Amino acid sequence: MNYNLIFTDSYKKRASRFAKQHPELKEQYKKTLLLLAQNPHHPSLRLHPLKGKLAALHSVSINLSYRITLEMIISEKQIVLVNVGSHEES
């Protein structure tokens, strides 16, 4: 069963900025989103809860340096995308 990815306006702005800064990651980013919608628990995404000020969020990996932070609403089969960037930026 697929999950519904929710692209907020603030996420769209961040994703656009990320795409301009990292055009070489376009295919990896798209693959990450497709896999996230199909199965957020797939091992290659390395889904994990965040700590500290981001404790309400989860993260999935685009690659070793970049991630997407997200809010998961499992009961509704929805995933709200919050931010995309490096581990240091989030």
Domain boundaries, the chain: 4-86
pLDDT greater than 90 at residue 86: no
Supply the angle between the helices 9-21 and 26-38 in degrees, to the nearest 10.
Answer: 140
- The pLDDT of residue 76: 76
pLDDT greater than 70 at residue 20: yes
- The pLDDT of residue 1: 67
Q: Which of 1, 72, 5, 71 is nearest to 32 (CA)?
A: 5
- The pLDDT of residue 7: 93
At 55-85, the pLDDT tens digits run 989 999 999 999 999 988 766 788 899 999 8
The fraction of the chain above a pLDDT of 90, given in percent, is 72
- CATH entry, 4-86, from 3.30.450.20, 3.20.20.70, 3.30.2310.20, 3.40.50.720: 3.30.2310.20
Q: What is the pTM of this model?
A: 0.87
